[in-house]
Copies of this chain bind each other. A is one copy, B any other.
Amino acid sequence: MCLMTPKIARFLADQQPATPCLVVDLSIVAEQYQALHKALPTGRIHYAVKANPASAILTCLHQLGSYFDIASPGEIDLCLQAGIPAAKLSFGHTVKTARSIAYAHQKGLTLFAFDCLEELEKLAQHAPGCSVFCRLGVLNTGAEWPLSRKFGTTVEHAFTLLTKARALGLKPAGLSFHVGSQQTHIEAYAEAIAQAAELYHRLDKEQNITLDFINMGGGFPTYYRTPIPAIDQFGQAITTAMQTHFPHHAPQILLEPGRYMVGSAGIVQTEVVLASHRGNREDEPRWVYLDIGRFGGLAETEGEAIRYAFQTPYDKTSTHYSPCILAGPSCDSMDVLYEKNPVPLPDELKTGDKLIILSTGAYVSTYCSTGFNGFPPLKEYYL
């Protein structure tokens, strides 16, 4: 489930690419897409391009029938260049410049998110007649990369806004929510669906507005180091909740998976730059410095939130593991990955060894800095 695939292993052995590098197995991306499609056959899948915008991934998912969720004009261009029609793109970012909206409108996008009046007015002005969906703020309990108050509004305010949307000549098309990234609580979806359903029925009854869809965002987890529920369990929970709250006619389900789709498809190969006790007592954790860190792509280790799993050359032979503090290669002293909760690694691990960081297909290539401390951006390979 969270192992290096034979294809990636062969590539590393044959090509011996310079480290650090990201290697993604596209067949896993396809498997993840199929598994989600099977778990929720009626759901329309919009891949969240921000998770990994590599053209190989976009092409792979386009061939499978995926829709796409984009966050900027740059991502629109990437999708169009990959041959994806504008009709398959949704602009799911609630905060957009007027120029971005106009650009998307001009390119043929018709579906836009919002969560406040000012954004709705921008949409009415720069993408007249478009379909809009309002993002609700919901609790992110259970998410390992929870969302802040940055996005989403209340059910009460969403009611007012969607009514207003119609008055502005826009089509009120849906609701969205996001239960938080790397969400491991299955119940999170049911609770959010209940909120959305209440609003859906109220709009229908009081305003004669029948929404087309509920967009459940992303959040489906990737396996890192602790077990996660199977995607079927999420599918079942969502199906049950939808049947409960929409016994007669149900709106369509939209999904925006990002991490789920590509996270487990990729690995990062890194080199140990230095492994040392640094003069500390032998029973204190060793420091292991890698050639990738928080500013080279592993930004989600901030606060030690996402805990990656590692493979070393000694996994089959080592008899003794000791806790290691992992740090990145830069001069920045914030560039430490795991210090509060050190990672057990084989005592044999030494300077110059190669290390594999598993499940790094999502949110790694894109967080990478342009050249912090003079290190070039992460190299990427798609197999």
**Would you list which residues of chain A between 143 and 169 have a CB under 8 Å from chain B?**
145-151, 153-154, 156-157, 160-161
**Does residue A262 face the partner (Cβ distance < 8 Å to B)?**
no
Q: Report A188 CB to chain B, min CB distance, Å.
A: 15
Contacting pair B150 A333 (CB below 8 A): yes
Copies of the protein in its oligomer = 2
Which residues does chain B contribute within 8 Å of A157, judged by CB atoms?
278-279
Contacting pair A78 B374 (CB below 8 A): yes
Contacting pair A370 B377 (CB below 8 A): yes
Contacting pair B369 A148 (CB below 8 A): no
- CA of A96 to CA of B189 in the docked complex: distance in angstroms? 46
- Nearest residue (CB) in B for A368 is B370
Contacting pair B50 A374 (CB below 8 A): yes
Count the A residues whose beta carbon is within 8 Å of the partner chain — how many?
75
Which residues does chain B contribute within 8 Å of A322, judged by CB atoms?
none
Contacting pair B302 A351 (CB below 8 A): no
Q: Decide: A154 near B74, CB < 8 A? Known: A50-B372, A273-B97, A274-B95.
A: no
- Nearest residue (CB) in B for A118 is B276
**Would you list which residues of chain A between 345 and 383 have a CB under 8 Å from chain B?**
351-352, 365-377
- CA of A50 to CA of B327 in the docked complex: distance in angstroms? 18
Which residues does chain B contribute within 8 Å of A330, judged by CB atoms?
50, 71
Which residues does chain B contribute within 8 Å of A118, judged by CB atoms?
274-276, 351
Which residues does chain B contribute within 8 Å of A117, judged by CB atoms?
276, 279
- CA of A71 to CA of B331 in the docked complex: distance in angstroms? 7
Q: Decide: A148 near B366, CB < 8 A? Known: A53-B374, A74-B374, A371-B74.
A: no
Contacting pair B150 A336 (CB below 8 A): yes
Q: Decide: A276 near B98, CB < 8 A? Known: A71-B330, A370-B368, A374-B71.
A: no
> A131-149, CB under 8 A of B: which get 1 and which 0?
0000000000000011111
Selected A-B contacts with CB under 8 Å, 15 pairs = A50-B372, A53-B374, A71-B330, A72-B329, A74-B371, A74-B375, A92-B331, A93-B331, A118-B276, A119-B274, A145-B334, A147-B333, A148-B333, A367-B372, A369-B370
